[in-house]
Chains A and B, each alone.
Chain A
Amino acid sequence: GENVEQHPSTLSVQEGDSAVIKCTYSDSASNYFPWYKQELGKRPQLIIDIRSNVGEKKDQRIAVTLNKTAKHFSLHITETQPEDSAVYFCAASQTGFQKLVFGTGTRLLVSP
């Protein structure tokens, strides 16, 4: 089955810096890759997703890149703000198989 690895487990940056979180997946059949942000005690919220027919997607300060050959995808956050502090999870799934396999999470801390 699919296995998703995520790095780093913790990431501390200064406000205004960029943050990059990386994930690798094992199943070449996976074709959908969402990213979720979870604040302490709250629900995971979808912040961006990408499908395997595109290599990059951007939404304001957030972007995701996908390298299908290497089977890895990354989340890029630019101009970080303290409110970006949270745990970020990547995930992977196959169309039609429904279930998401999550990475282990990255705790991002943005210091003012």
Chain B
Amino acid sequence: GAVVSQHPSRVICKSGTSVKIECRSLDFQATTMFWYRQFPKKSLMLMATSNEGSKATYEQGVEKDKFLINHASLTLSTLTVTSAHPEDSSFYICSARSGAPETQYFGPGTRLLVL
């Protein structure tokens, strides 16, 4: 149980385009999902907390107009990287809360490369 999927697993795009990443909880309802960014050999950096039916809460320094988050249902949250630039290239991982108040389960991640 507590499976989280993420799509796509890899994406290559041109600078200036937008990219949408989906995060789904497959066997549970997730009222809260989280979006992280991870640089090579570094820790997970929380970008935003996504609550179903309400606006996302962004961490300090994260541009909400650049990283659009939508949590339209209890099983789906999306992250859209708008007007992507090479510096946005990174590993993006989502997680979802299940059952226990704090337990988070992670998706497999999306590797974004902006050319």
Contact = CB atoms under 8 A, between A and B. Distances in A.
Contact of B97 (A42, A98, A105): A98
A34 B103 contact: yes
Nearest to B94: A43
Contact of A102 (B41, B43, B97, B108): B43
Interface of A: 32, 34, 36, 41-46, 49, 89, 93, 95-96, 98-105, 107
A99 B103 contact: no
A95 B101 contact: yes
Interface in B1-35: 4, 32, 34
A50 to B, nearest CB: 11
Nearest to A92: B102
A21 to B, nearest CB: 13
Interface string B67-88: 0000000000000000000000
B103 A49 contact: yes
A20 to B, nearest CB: 19
B102 A103 contact: no
A46 to B, nearest CB: 7
Contacts of B107: 43
Contacts of B103: 34, 46, 49
B106 A98 contact: no
26 contacts: A34-B103, A34-B104, A41-B109, A41-B111, A42-B109, A43-B4, A43-B106, A43-B108, A45-B106, A46-B104, A46-B105, A49-B103, A89-B43, A95-B102, A96-B101, A98-B32, A98-B97, A98-B102, A99-B34, A99-B46, A100-B102, A100-B104, A102-B43, A102-B44, A103-B43, A107-B41
A99 B106 contact: no
Contacts of A95: 101-102
Nearest to B101: A95
Contacts of A103: 43
Q: Which 3 A-B pairs have the closest CB atoms?
A: A32-B102, A43-B106, A43-B108
